């Protein structure tokens, strides 16, 4: 949030909500006071949930002030208005070092419409994929992906707005944009027989205690590095029909609600089953 108008300096605070060992989460809370027909304060929270695979899920929640119509005179000039049609834009964005922007097919990305795509860095083989919960997005400048909540409006609705987006990082290699974006797909899981979708943090969450043995299955490919949040003792016994080797899952406690987060290293395929026996 930036403002060239009169008012106090904005503030922001970074909080580490969850430090791992597998899934981490940080939250940024910010406020931006300004003067516009009286004191106004815009505020918001951005939460980043980070996964070991390079996936980062971001949730923006913005609370705009309730502001009357901004005319040029007498009070509108205080708001920086210079015409009879003053306007506000409220947006969120991802901005990266300039690279080559492509869509899922690998073709050059368009400047407007659906900004789901990738920025590629040919010199070092790195790439970043971007996926939005709302596809009405745009790329106004190179490697900058923008979602507009509102554009060219004379007054801001005080109702909060929120949006979830995600990026997938690739450090090196010849991965395609389509392959990177496939890692950001969120199909349903079947947990104890119920369909479960990811929440705004990118985690499959089930509320309510699970005391009997149950299974985690799917009817679609679930990308590697998925996580499940359950009201479950972290010492539950897990068995996979895929017979993985090594540390194929990690259990950790979510300090915000006491749930156990189970992070799974490998993809889950139709026909696979993870049996969970609570303790």
Please report, in tens digits, the pLDDT of each residue of the chain (279 residues total).
444 444 567 899 999 999 999 999 999 999 887 666 667 777 899 999 999 999 999 999 987 665 544 444 455 555 555 555 556 677 889 999 999 999 999 999 877 667 789 999 988 889 999 998 776 788 888 999 998 887 777 666 677 888 899 999 998 777 899 999 999 998 999 999 999 999 999 999 999 888 999 999 999 999 999 999 999 999 999 999 999 999 999 999 999 999 999 999 999 999 999 999 998
pTM value is 0.88
What span, in angstroms and rounded, lies between the C-alpha atoms of 130 and 96? 11
Residue 45 domain boundaries: 11-182
Cβ proximity of 28 and 12 under 8 Å: yes
Same domain, 116 and 15: yes
Final residue before a domain boundary, out of 125, 157, 182: 182
What span, in angstroms and rounded, lies between the C-alpha atoms of 217 and 1? 42
Same domain, 131 and 267: no
pLDDT at 70: 47
The total number of structural domains in the chain stands at: 2
Q: How many CB atoms lie within 10 A of CB 260?
A: 19
pLDDT at 155: 65
Kindly list the distances between the CA atom of residue 149 and the CA atoms of 60, 169, 190, 262, in Å, as whole numbers in the listed order: 11, 25, 33, 34
Domain contains 234: yes
Distance spanning both ends of the chain, measured CA to CA: 47
Q: Residues 6 or more apart from 93 whose CB is under 8 A from it?
A: 144, 145, 146, 147
What span, in angstroms and rounded, lies between the C-alpha atoms of 52 and 132? 20
CATH code, 260: 2.60.40
Final residue before a domain boundary, out of 137, 152, 182: 182
Same domain, 74 and 108: yes
Q: Residues 6 or more apart from 207 whose CB is under 8 A from it?
A: 231
Domain contains 92: yes
Rounded to the nearest 5 percent, the helix, strand and coil shares of the chain are: 5, 50, 50
Domain contains 5: no
Domain contains 268: yes
What span, in angstroms and rounded, lies between the C-alpha atoms of 50 and 79? 38
What count of Cα atoms within 13 Å lies in the side-chain half-sphere of residue 67? 27
Same domain, 57 and 147: yes
Structural Rg of the chain based on CA atoms: 22
Token pair 């070991």 is at which residue?
Answer: 52
Same domain, 162 and 196: no
Final residue before a domain boundary, out of 182, 207, 224: 182
Same domain, 154 and 229: no
Q: Of 256, 266, 278, 267, which Cα lies nearest the Cα of 26?
A: 256
What span, in angstroms and rounded, lies between the C-alpha atoms of 258 and 45? 22
**Ordered DSSP codes for 77-141:** GGGT--SSS--EEEEEEEE-S--EEE-TTSSBPPSEE---EEEEETTTTEEEEEEESS--EE--S
Q: Of 130, 167, 135, which Cα lies nearest the Cα of 148?
A: 135
């Amino acid at each position: 949030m930036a403002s060239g108008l009169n008012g106090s300096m904005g503030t922001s605070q970074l909080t580490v909500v969850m430090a791992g060992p597998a899934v981490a989460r940080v939250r940024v809370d910010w406020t931006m006071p300004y003067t516009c027909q009286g004191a106004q304060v815009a505020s918001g929270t951005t939460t980043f949930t980070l996964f070991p695979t390079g996936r980062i899920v971001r949730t923006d929640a913005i609370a705009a002030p309730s502001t009357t119509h901004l005319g040029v005179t007498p009070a509108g000039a205080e708001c920086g208005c210079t015409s009879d049609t003053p306007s506000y834009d409220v947006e969120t964005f991802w901005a990266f070092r300039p690279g080559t922007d492509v869509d899922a097919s690998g073709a050059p990305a368009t400047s407007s419409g659906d900004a789901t795509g990738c920025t590629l860095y040919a010199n070092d083989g790195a790439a970043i994929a971007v996926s939005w919960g709302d596809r009405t997005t745009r790329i106004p400048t190179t490697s900058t992906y923008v979602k507009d909540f509102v554009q060219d409006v004379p007054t801001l609705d005080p109702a909060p707005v929120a949006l979830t987006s995600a990026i997938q990082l690739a450090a090196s290699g010849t991965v395609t944009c389509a392959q990177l974006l496939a890692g950001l797909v969120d199909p349903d899981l079947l947990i104890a027989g119920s369909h479960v979708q990811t929440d705004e943090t990118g985690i499959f969450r089930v509320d309510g205690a699970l005391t009997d043995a149950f299974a985690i299955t799917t009817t679609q490919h679930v990308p590697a590095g998925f996580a499940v949040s359950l009201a479950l003792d972290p010492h539950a016994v897990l068995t996979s029909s895929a017979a993985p080797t090594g540390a194929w899952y990690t259990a950790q406690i979510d300090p915000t609600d006491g749930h156990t987060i189970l992070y799974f290293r490998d993809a889950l395929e139709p026909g696979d089953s993870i049996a969970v026996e609570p303790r």
